[in-house]
A and B are shown apart, each in its own frame.
Chain A
């Protein structure tokens, strides 16, 4: 699976008191395992729904770049790491539970 980088410039969707944030999410997967495929689809869907145009998903396949697992202390697959905005948040699983996903990467305030 190629690394997909979805970049959308932040648009003035809402007049936020903070500067418009770009969400940087990094999804670690292992090849085309069912969990990985599902996770990517779920994450993408959620971002499209809540962060349209303000997010970026970095997909990292550990099968291809195993050394990258150490940087973010990856043990479980799939894992999504919210790199921006801070603080760092880590979430594991296939993202099938959207409420947990929202809470987990602290999205509800945006929504």
Chain B
């Protein structure tokens, strides 16, 4: 249903020029900009087993079920029961559709050995059969599966040719959207008998190739008159839901870029990323050599997401879910409750099982059905086992685009060979927004893990290398020491820490001693002051006593003198003055 919505969005600009009939085949309507040319013929060419018949049948079945356009299938090769059986495994119930008069299947079988020719003939019989079938179900779509079989079974190819030309004109005249399949046996020819010259509107090529024992299916639109279309080779897949052309959204770079940040699950890593963690909807690459803790980083992120109540999807291409759960438990990250709660889902499979398209489709389907907000692909480098670098890159581009349009934050881990640290194996770094590089640093006979942020688009990030240690209770990031001999990690770091600690202790002890010394001196000083004051006070007392005694004495003398003056009748005023003046300075 969603594809239909997408189709409708992309339809208006083209519908003015060329009406299109949606195929309903996942992904195809996107790359054709709405479907096959309506009322015209499309040639589907491909080698044996490339999926032509299925393509045609799916076109009809989806037309009948999703777009209420009944269809007619004229099979020149397979019998009707065989066809029904073949597509039943894809969930198409041909018999039911036939019974509901939404589909008409006719098997045209001619056996050359029973056939003789005598004189001129035409294919009116076939025309009548098709016309009758079309009329019976009110068909809008017609599929002629390997029309070229007629060449093999009927004598006089020139008649067959001209009749096929007439047939195409007839189909067009009737306004039937039709698919004609044709076998391709030579790489430089589209069809064995060159019938593509009659089909001028749309030609789609299906290809099924085996490279290094792994099969990939490809689809390419060779020609689409009057319409723009994707020109690449698109991988496609046939699985239990029919054909899926991949990917669904790779035509434009117009995904949103939210400002929201999500924690990486490691607080110090968040700190390195401007203090807030990753951007939501961004793609993160964690690359590193073997055993540097890539999966652990991913697991931390998943754990954090689940804690926030978000859904996480973990694609494990190397380890089984059980193994991941156990390993993470050993460092204190327990993911099992999230699995039980339904917040975390694992998809574990060896990519060699089905090839790169299968992997892309698996991820695609997992994501659309589970709707996670966090996705982990661990590791992307395993995909290289099944495909070439180019294909992996294009697959990842598509996956990243898809994830971004869905606003899903994704972590991809990538195993790098030692020595080529900054060249990620799948050459995917340019697709990624944030690149965490994990490496082993070898110092003093030890390997220690180090992490740094190689790039992080659109945010401030630390340029420092951090050591990270896996402890029983999780992952911790530590500062590394930059000494004269380089980065110090592990026990070198520990001994450096000890040394620094010793120096610091020594310094603080010294300081303490000095402080005590000062205190002691202050006390001595104060004690002395007290003593001095006491001495002074004692002396002062004595002196005061003396002074007052002397004063008393002085007054007595004056009185005595006065009495003497009185008795001698002397000039009193002058005596008093002198008398006082003389006694005043007594000490």
Please give the residue numbers on chain A whose beta carbons come within 8 Å of chain B beta carbons, in ascending order.
28, 30, 33, 35, 38-39, 42, 62-63, 66-67, 69-70, 73-79, 87-98, 100-101, 103-105
- What chain A residues lie within 8 Å of B341 (beta carbons)? none
- What chain A residues lie within 8 Å of B116 (beta carbons)? 89-92, 100, 103-105
Binds A, one of B30-38, B128-136, B317-325, B500-508: B128-136
B549 at interface, CB cutoff 8 A: no
A28 to B150, CA, bound (A): 19
| 20 A–B contacts, CB within 8 A, in A order | A35-B120, A42-B119, A62-B125, A69-B129, A70-B129, A73-B110, A75-B125, A76-B122, A76-B123, A77-B122, A77-B123, A77-B125, A77-B128, A79-B125, A91-B115, A91-B117, A92-B118, A95-B118, A104-B117, A104-B118
A43 to B204, CA, bound (A): 45
A102 to B301, CA, bound (A): 84
A30 is contacted by which of B109, B114, B124, B150 (Cβ under 8 Å)? Answer: B124
Cβ of B118 and Cβ of A35 under 8 Å apart?
no
Cβ of A77 and Cβ of B106 under 8 Å apart?
no
* Chain A, Cβ-Cβ closest to B120: A94
Cβ of A76 and Cβ of B125 under 8 Å apart?
yes
* Chain B, Cβ-Cβ closest to A102: B118
Cβ of A97 and Cβ of B118 under 8 Å apart?
yes
Please give the residue numbers on chain B whose beta carbons come within 8 Å of chain A beta carbons, in ascending order.
106, 108-110, 114-126, 128-129, 131-132, 150, 154-155
A4 to B217, CA, bound (A): 55
Cβ of A74 and Cβ of B129 under 8 Å apart?
yes
Give min CB distance, A71 to chain B, whole Å. Answer: 11
* Chain A, Cβ-Cβ closest to B116: A104
Cβ of A69 and Cβ of B128 under 8 Å apart?
yes
* Chain A, Cβ-Cβ closest to B163: A76
* Chain B, Cβ-Cβ closest to A67: B132
- What chain A residues lie within 8 Å of B109 (beta carbons)? 73
A93 to B122, CA, bound (A): 8
Cβ of B118 and Cβ of A66 under 8 Å apart?
no
- What chain B residues lie within 8 Å of A105 (beta carbons)? 116
Cβ of B118 and Cβ of A75 under 8 Å apart?
no
Closest 8 CB pairs of A and B: A104-B116, A93-B119, A66-B132, A96-B119, A77-B124, A100-B118, A94-B119, A74-B125
- What chain B residues lie within 8 Å of A38 (beta carbons)? 119
Cβ of A70 and Cβ of B118 under 8 Å apart?
no
Given known pairs A67-B132, A73-B108, A75-B154, the reply for A94 and B118 (CB within 8 Å) is yes
- What chain B residues lie within 8 Å of A30 (beta carbons)? 124-125, 128
Cβ of A66 and Cβ of B128 under 8 Å apart?
yes
A79 to B123, CA, bound (A): 10
Cβ of B115 and Cβ of A66 under 8 Å apart?
no
* Chain A, Cβ-Cβ closest to B114: A90
- What chain B residues lie within 8 Å of A100 (beta carbons)? 116-119
Cβ of A33 and Cβ of B124 under 8 Å apart?
yes
- What chain A residues lie within 8 Å of B110 (beta carbons)? 73, 75
Give min CB distance, A108 to chain B, whole Å. Answer: 13
- What chain B residues lie within 8 Å of A94 (beta carbons)? 118-121
- What chain A residues lie within 8 Å of B114 (beta carbons)? 87-90
Cβ of A101 and Cβ of B118 under 8 Å apart?
yes
Kindly name the residue among A63, A78, A87 whose own CB sees the greatest number of chain B CB atoms within 10 A.
A78
A55 to B106, CA, bound (A): 32
Give min CB distance, B435 to chain A, whole Å. Answer: 63
A19 to B24, CA, bound (A): 61
Given known pairs A62-B128, A69-B129, A75-B125, the reply for A95 and B119 (CB within 8 Å) is yes
18 extra A-B contacts, CB within 8 A, seeds A75-B150, A89-B116, A92-B154 = A30-B128, A33-B122, A67-B132, A73-B108, A73-B110, A74-B129, A75-B126, A76-B122, A77-B128, A88-B114, A90-B114, A92-B116, A93-B118, A93-B119, A96-B119, A97-B119, A100-B119, A101-B118
Give min CB distance, A57 to chain B, whole Å. Answer: 15
Cβ of B128 and Cβ of A92 under 8 Å apart?
no
Cβ of B128 and Cβ of A93 under 8 Å apart?
no
A56 to B154, CA, bound (A): 26
* Chain A, Cβ-Cβ closest to B126: A75
* Chain A, Cβ-Cβ closest to B135: A66
- What chain A residues lie within 8 Å of B150 (beta carbons)? 75
Give min CB distance, B195 to chain A, whole Å. Answer: 16
Cβ of B119 and Cβ of A69 under 8 Å apart?
no
A62 to B116, CA, bound (A): 20
Cβ of B121 and Cβ of A78 under 8 Å apart?
yes
